[in-house]
């Protein structure tokens, strides 16, 4: 399956001190399109289904609602879907809050969706395992792409709007997840360039893939939480918790870069970082020791193949600790 997602991350201990790194955040000009923490003061009642509350709608049947008890790693109430079997052999349950961002303003081409989630395993004597997904739809109901958490293989996959059969078109991210572990998912879309990326706990799991592979008109109708029952005769009692659901639009021209630690090079002694960005965009790697003065240490253009570029800091060994960010230098 490949790489595991690290817990909600922080520092990396190295022989020459501690190097901390972070990615560029959304700018102050970001506009919140919709957000919720599923709290009681927002009108969410743990005694009823999420479907039908506070503007949330759905399609299909099965367990969904609000958990009022404290969940480690989450604050306050959380939403969930799964656990209770669907009715009438239904195999899919979608939950969403309509957004209707159409047409997309040319001044706000970049959209970021973020949510905290956790997948609880099936507990029956002969357990069955299902899939939990986050799917992005246009305003016309066209599914643009999906990020899938396969609770049988414990793998993370993605699906584009390719014309081949959906069940044979899943792409392996080569990342895996653990049950009962909280994860912070961020999905960023650049509608102007038809690109999307996804990261989980700071690890880039999908980078610079096409939002639509079929030249479908781009808009944002909704971002759905999805439960896919693999065997309608034997649905699992697994379920997905989710919280802090938020969608922002920004005036950026490119998806903010994400950084991946690669370590020291044996010859030059440089500290290397992979910058995950957009194809053809030039990025500057910047370093600081105090978050006030940032110094450019390297620059390079992201590959047209995967949208990544490896940059190195040859001066890293001269500092007990350094913090890094990457900024784009235009298209």
pLDDT at residue 7, rounded to an integer: 64
* Percent of the chain with pLDDT strictly greater than 90: 60
For the four alpha carbons of 148, 149, 153 and 156, in that order, the dihedral sign comes to positive
Residue 294 predicted with pLDDT over 80: yes
d(CA 147, CA 283): 27
d(CA 156, CA 268): 36
Residue 3 predicted with pLDDT over 90: no
Better-scored residue on pLDDT, 31 or 96: 96
Residue 14 predicted with pLDDT over 50: no
Mean pLDDT of 233-254: 91
Residue 17 predicted with pLDDT over 50: no
Rounded to the nearest 10 degrees, how much is the dihedral formed by the CA atoms of 35, 31, 160, 184? Answer: -50
User: What's the mean per-residue pLDDT of the chain?
Assistant: 87
Q: Per residue in 301-329, is it b (16+ CB within 10 Å) or e — as a string?
A: ebeeeebbbebbbeebbebeebbbbbbbe
pLDDT at residue 10, rounded to an integer: 45
CB 196 within 8 A of CB 223: no
pLDDT at residue 15, rounded to an integer: 39
- For the chain, domains (ranges, CATH) are 3-24+257-328 (no CATH), 31-250 (2.60.120.200)
Better-scored residue on pLDDT, 172 or 254: 172
Residue 167 is classified by DSSP as: G
pLDDT at residue 168, rounded to an integer: 60
Residue 11 predicted with pLDDT over 60: no
CB 133 within 8 A of CB 150: no
Residue of 90, 67, 147 lying closest to 114 (CA atoms): 147
Mean pLDDT of 211-236: 92
Better-scored residue on pLDDT, 42 or 162: 42
Of the listed ranges 11-15, 90-94, 95-99, 269-273, the least confidently predicted one is 11-15
Residue 250 predicted with pLDDT over 90: no
pLDDT at residue 12, rounded to an integer: 41
């Amino acid at each position: 399956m490949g790489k595991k997602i690290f817990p909600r991350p922080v520092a990396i201990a190295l022989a020459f001190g501690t190097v901390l790194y972070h990615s560029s955040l959304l700018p102050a000009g970001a506009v919140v399109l919709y957000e919720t923490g599923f709290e009681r003061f927002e009108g969410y009642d743990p005694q009823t289904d999420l479907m039908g509350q506070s503007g949330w709608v759905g399609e299909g049947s099965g367990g969904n609602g609000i958990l009022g008890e404290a969940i480690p790693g989450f604050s306050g109430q959380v939403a969930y879907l799964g656990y209770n079997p669907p009715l009438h052999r239904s195999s899919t349950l979608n939950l969403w809050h309509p957004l209707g961002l159409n047409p997309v303003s040319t001044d706000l081409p970049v959209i970021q969706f973020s949510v905290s989630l956790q997948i609880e395993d099936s507990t029956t004597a002969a357990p069955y395992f299902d899939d939990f997904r986050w799917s992005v739809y246009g305003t016309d109901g066209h599914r643009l792409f999906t990020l899938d958490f396969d609770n049988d293989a414990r793998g993370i996959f993605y699906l584009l709007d390719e014309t081949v059969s959906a069940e044979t078109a899943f792409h392996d991210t080569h990342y895996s997840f653990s049950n009962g572990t909280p994860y912070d998912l961020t999905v960023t879309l650049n509608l102007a360039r038809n690109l999307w990326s996804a990261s989980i706990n700071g690890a880039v799991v999908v980078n610079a893939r096409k939002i639509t592979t079929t030249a479908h008109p781009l808009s944002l109708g909704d971002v759905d939480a999805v439960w896919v029952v693999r065997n309608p005769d034997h649905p699992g009692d697994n379920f997905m918790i989710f919280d802090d659901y938020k969608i922002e639009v920004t005036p950026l021209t490119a998806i903010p870069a994400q950084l991946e630690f690669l370590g020291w090079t044996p010859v030059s002694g440089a500290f290397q970082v992979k910058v995950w960005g957009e194809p053809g965009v030039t990025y500057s790697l910047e370093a600081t020791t105090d978050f006030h003065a940032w110094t450019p240490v390297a620059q390079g253009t992201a590959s047209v193949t995967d949208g990544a570029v490896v940059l190195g800091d040859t001066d890293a060994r001269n500092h007990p600790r350094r913090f890094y960010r990457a900024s784009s230098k235009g298209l």
